[in-house]
C-alpha cells in the first residue's frame, strides 16, 4: 500500500510527515511517496526522506497513485477528481467552516479523516493535532508579545532604578492558554487568567498564574471537556471583569474558543480604547472572528498605540517542530487504521476512528458535521 505526502502551498511551511515518520510507516509495511521538496520549508531535505526509505515523486504521482494521501491543508478542490478511487485522505480540512470542501467530498466515493475531529480523550491524546498546534501557538504568542511590547517582561532592580514586571492577562486556559502561562512565567511576567471552566483553576495556579473568575458559569460534562455558550447575564458580568483586568494589563493573550463556533467576543472596543498606549493584544482566535472586536485575521491593527496582532498560523512560523508534532500525531493515528499486513482496516466501532472520520465512501460520518451540513 502506498502512502503519499503532499507539499503544502505557501505561506504554509510545515510538512505532514517527517523522515522519522517515514521510517515508522515503512515499519508498518507501507511504501511512502513524498512530493519533491515537500519538506524544504520545514528543513527536511529530499535526501533525508530518501535515506528514511521514501521515494521522492511528482505531485501528480502522489495524487494519482497513493492509497492514503497525507496533507495539512494543501489539497485543492480541483485536484480531488484525480485521486485514486477509494482513496483515504487525511489532513486538517477545517470542516466546521469549509463547507465547500465537505460538499465536494460528498458522493465522491472517497474516505476522509479530518484531524480537527479527533476526540479529546486520554486514549486519543497522542493523535491530538489541535493540542500540538495550540501548544506552539501559546508559546509563540508570548514571544511575539515580548518583542512587540516596549517594556521588559521581568522585574529589574538595577542601578538605573527598578523596572516593574509586565502584567499579562490570558483569556482562555485551554492548551494554548496554559502554554502561554508557562512561557510568560519563565520570562518573568505576572499572569492573570480567566476561563469559564472552573476545572482549570488548579492547573492555572500550579503554573504560577492567578485565576480570576465570574460566579455562575454554565458547564456541561457532555461537552467533552470543552466550554459551552454562556447566558446573557453571565456574559455581562464577564465583560465587566475582563474590562477591569485588561486596563491593568500590558499584554492580553486571547485564546478562548468553543469548537466549531465563532470565537466569543471578550475584549470590546471600549476596553481596548481605555487600555494604555503601548499595550499588546495577541488574538489567537483571529481565524474564527477573534476574541477582540478590533481583530482582523492575519493583520496587525493599531488603535491609539495599542497593537492587536491577529496571526492565525503560528505553527507555520516554527515549521520544524510543528511538523515533528504533526507527523507523530499522524503516525499514531495511522497505526489505528493499518493492520499488520500493511493494509487499511477501518474499524468504525473504535470511537477515535468513528469520531475523526469526516466522510466514508462519500457519506458524512461525523455527527457534528452532519448536523451543520443539514442546516
Calpha distance 115→101 (Å, rounded): 15
Question: Which residues, at least 6 apart from 155, have a Cβ–Cβ distance to it below 8 Å?
Answer: 162, 163, 164, 165, 188
Pick from 142, 182, 191, 284 the residue near ligand NAD by CB under 6 A. Answer: 284
Pick from 2, 26, 148, 258 the residue near ligand NAD by CB under 6 A. Answer: 258
Largest CA distance in the chain: 72
- Residue span 189-228 as binding mask against ligand NAD, x where in contact by CB under 6 A, dash where not: -----xxxx--x-------------------------xx-
- Residue span 126-145 as binding mask against ligand NAD, x where in contact by CB under 6 A, dash where not: ----xx-xx--x--------
The H or E element that residue 88 is part of is strand 88-91
CB of 330 to ligand NAD, least distance (A): 17
CA dihedral 214, 217, 223, 229 (to 10 degrees): -90
Per CB under 6 A, 176 contacts ligand NAD: yes
Calpha distance 272→374 (Å, rounded): 38
Per CB under 6 A, 255 contacts ligand NAD: yes
Contact region with ligand NAD (CB under 6 A), list: 46-54, 244-252, 280-288, 357-365: 280-288
Calpha distance 111→85 (Å, rounded): 10
CB of 258 to ligand NAD, least distance (A): 5
The H or E element that residue 3 is part of is strand 2-5
Per CB under 6 A, 175 contacts ligand NAD: yes
DSSP string of 216-228, one letter each residue: T----GGGTT---
Three-state secondary structure call for residue 315: helix
Pick from 257, 327, 329, 356 the residue near ligand NAD by CB under 6 A. Answer: 257
CB of 223 to ligand NAD, least distance (A): 9
Calpha distance 283→193 (Å, rounded): 15
Per CB under 6 A, 294 contacts ligand NAD: no
| Chain centre to alpha carbon of residue 117 | 12
Contact region with ligand NAD (CB under 6 A), list: 60-68, 250-258, 328-336, 339-347: 250-258
Q: What are phi and psi of 365, to 5 degrees?
A: -105, -45
Per CB under 6 A, 234 contacts ligand NAD: no
Catalytically annotated residues: 120, 125, 128, 131, 226
Residue 224 or 277 having the CB closest to ligand NAD? 224
Per CB under 6 A, 266 contacts ligand NAD: yes
Burial 194-227 (b: 16+ CB within 10 A, else e): bbbbeebbebbeebebebbebeebeeeeeeeebb
DSSP state of 209: P
CB of 90 to ligand NAD, least distance (A): 19
Contacts with ligand NAD by CB under 6 A lie at 130-131, 133-134, 137, 171-177, 194-197, 200, 226-227, 230, 255-258, 263-264, 266, 284-285, 288, 311-315
Amino acid at each position: 500500500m502506498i502512502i503519499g505526502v503532499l507539499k503544502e502551498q505557501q505561506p504554509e511551511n510545515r510538512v505532514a510527515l517527517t523522515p522519522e515518520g517515514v521510517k515508522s510507516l515503512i515499519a508498518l509495511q507501507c511504501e511512502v511517496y513524498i512530493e519533491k521538496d515537500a519538506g524544504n520549508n520545514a528543513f527536511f531535505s529530499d535526501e533525508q526522506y530518501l535515506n528514511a526509505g521514501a521515494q521522492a515523486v511528482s505531485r501528480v504521482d502522489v495524487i494519482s497513485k497513493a492509497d492514503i494521501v497525507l496533507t495539512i491543508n494543501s489539497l485543492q478542490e480541483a485536484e480531488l477528481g484525480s485521486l485514486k478511487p477509494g482513496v483515504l485522505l487525511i489532513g486538517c480540512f477545517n470542516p466546521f467552516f469549509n463547507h465547500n470542501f465537505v460538499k465536494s467530498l460528498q458522493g465522491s466515493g472517497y474516505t476522509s479523516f479530518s484531524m480537527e475531529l479527533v476526540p479529546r480523550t486520554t486514549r486519543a491524546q497522542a493523535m491530538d493535532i489541535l493540542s500540538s498546534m495550540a501548544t506552539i501557538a501559546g508559546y509563540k504568542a508570548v514571544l511575539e508579545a515580548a518583542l512587540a511590547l516596549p517594556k521588559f517582561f521581568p522585574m529589574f532592580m538595577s542601578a538605573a532604578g527598578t523596572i516593574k514586571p509586565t502584567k499579562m492577562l490570558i483569556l482562555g486556559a485551554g492548551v494554548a492558554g496554559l502554554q502561554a502561562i508557562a512561557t510568560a512565567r519563565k520570562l518573568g511576567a505576572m499572569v492573570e487568567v480567566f476561563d469559564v471552566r472552573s476545572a482549570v483553576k488548579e492547573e492555572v495556579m500550579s503554573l504560577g498564574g492567578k485565576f480570576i473568575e465570574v460566579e455562575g458559569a454554565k458547564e456541561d460534562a457532555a461537552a467533552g471537556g470543552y466550554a459551552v455558550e454562556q447566558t446573557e447575564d453571565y456574559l455581562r458580568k464577564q465583560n465587566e471583569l475582563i474590562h477591569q483586568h485588561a486596563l491593568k494589563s500590558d499584554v492580553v493573550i486571547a485564546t478562548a474558543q468553543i469548537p466549531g463556533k465563532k470565537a466569543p467576543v471578550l475584549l470590546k472596543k471600549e476596553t481596548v480604547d481605555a487600555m494604555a498606549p503601548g499595550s499588546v493584544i495577541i488574538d489567537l482566535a483571529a481565524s474564527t472572528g477573534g476574541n477582540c472586536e478590533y481583530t482582523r485575521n492575519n493583520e496587525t491593527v493599531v488603535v491609539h498605540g495599542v497593537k492587536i496582532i491577529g496571526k492565525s498560523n503560528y505553527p507555520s512560523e516554527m515549521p520544524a517542530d510543528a511538523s515533528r508534532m504533526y507527523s507523530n500525531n499522524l503516525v499514531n493515528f495511522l497505526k489505528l487504521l493499518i493492520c499488520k499486513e500493511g493494509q487499511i482496516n477501518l474499524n468504525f466501532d473504535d470511537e477515535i476512528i468513528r469520531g475523526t472520520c469526516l466522510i466514508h465512501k462519500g457519506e458524512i460520518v461525523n455527527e457534528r458535521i452532519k448536523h451543520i451540513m443539514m442546516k
